[in-house]
Amino acid sequence: METRIIIVEDDFDYLELLNGKLVSAGFRSIRAEDDSVKAASLFEKGAVFDIALIDMNMPGMDGISLLEFIKNTSPRTECIMVTAVNDARVAVECLKKGAYDYLVKPITQEDLVFSITRSLERKRLLDILDIKEGKSVPRLMNPEPFRLILTRSEKMRRLLKEAELHAVSEVPVLITGESGTGKELLARAIHKASPRARNPFTPVNMASQSATLFEAEFFGHTKGAFTGAEKDRSGFLLASNHGTLFLDEIGNLPLELQGKLLRVLQDGEYTRLGTSKRQKVDVRFIAATNEDLDDLLNRKKFRKDLYYRIRGGWLHLPPLRERREDIPILVDHFLDAFCPAGNRCRMTDDACCLMLEHRFPGNIRELETIVRSAVNLAQGRPIVPEFLPREVQQNKKTANCAQPEPNSIRPLADIEREHILNTYRHTGRNKSKTARMLGIGLNTLRRKLRGYAVN
């Protein structure tokens, strides 16, 4: 079946240019529209497209408005935004509203085809989810590798399903997300769910490596290759043969080494220091970063061809503030982990409420540290607000919490329920406003309210 593409661009010359690039790349089913309102009416009438290339600045209906309209009327259409201005804030807004990519003019045919190819792969994966599951939230076929990733979040459960589908393939995977969101944990889960699960998983932190030593440690070296090389070293690549090599903080890889890594990704060949003999290796790569790789590309700090190679499957881990429904189960998990043997550690209602209000800029890693510290300070007593860090205690000013009974300690799920219902009442039963205040999705809020028997 041919890929159906619509181009929406008010500049007729550039519209023809994009159309020509697509035709020369082998695409045949292309609709070119210079009127965004007319394009919207096509979707409204039921027209089906796999890909929409959308210019940002158009009269009548701008690009973001058209993006929102398409995602509402045709959710399975993958949207790629086209703009003359490289604005990171606008790019982030587009991605949040459902765009797959954000391309800055002038656009090369290579960039255009790559973006379309990857968006089609994403569409294929999501279509598989719909075929296999007739439900809103997909189930994992093999949940065991992902059991350490604790979540109730619909967004996270969809991401884990996408990760499971990538796991069984051989494509490199790029995991992005803020520091502390669990990128290495997800990488390990993908490895465990893959055919390579019985072979090594080797994590390498690029940020902790010097350019000089890194080459020797990554590719390996022979005895006498340099001063201090007293014996042969196999290197990370050979140690990961038939397994997975996890490149954490890939954005910190020195530019001079990026070309050598690209060669390994392309044909599985590399050369150890001290020898000219090329070696073959069979490694699956997973990379992760909290850096903006697009910014590094623009500043010539990261090779575009390497970026294309590592972004085979792209998974973006949301920050904890966007999956607040996971805070109670994560708190319970770390309480159990850090509580001294034989003790039963619990938080008081008001302490739980403050945790639910906190934004956690350090994400899960910060939450873990807070719980560990609170358990140590409590010394077996209930964890009260005074045992939490000052920045968490400051949430008292905004926390919408009921006053607890003296010495009461209830399950975190009960505290979460009370917190959600209090906020819901506070907003005058406005679901959209409640979801925004709580930092959770509207569908998640609706599901929880149904579970609480609230109409």
Low-confidence stretches of the chain (pLDDT beneath 50): 131, 404, 406-407
Pairing type for strands 278-280 and 269-271 reads antiparallel
Say what the pLDDT of residue 277 is. Answer: 83
Q: Where are the beta strands (DSSP E) in 101-196?
A: 101-104, 173-176
Residue 275 and residue 238 in contact, taking contact as beta carbons nearer than 8 Å: no
Cβ-Cβ contacts under 8 Å for 175 (sequence gap 6 or more): 183, 186, 187, 286, 287, 288, 289, 315, 316, 317
pLDDT attached to residue 412: 65
Domains in the chain, please, with CATH? 4-109 (3.40.50.2300), 144-318 (3.40.50.300), 322-451 (1.10.8.60)
Q: In this predicted structure, what is the pLDDT of residue 155?
A: 85
Which has the closest alpha carbon to 266: 244, 249, 283? 283
Bridge partners (DSSP) of residue 201 are 244
Instruction: State pLDDT tens for residues 153-212.
Output: 888 988 998 899 889 888 899 999 999 999 999 999 999 999 999 999 999 998 877 777
Tokens of 206: 């690029």
pLDDT of residue 1: 57
pLDDT attached to residue 345: 85
Digit-coded pLDDT (tens) for 18-77: 999 999 998 999 999 999 999 999 999 999 999 999 999 999 899 999 999 999 999 889
pLDDT score of 371 = 97
- pTM of the entire predicted model: 0.66
DSSP three-state, residue 265: helix
Residue 404 is predicted with a pLDDT of 47
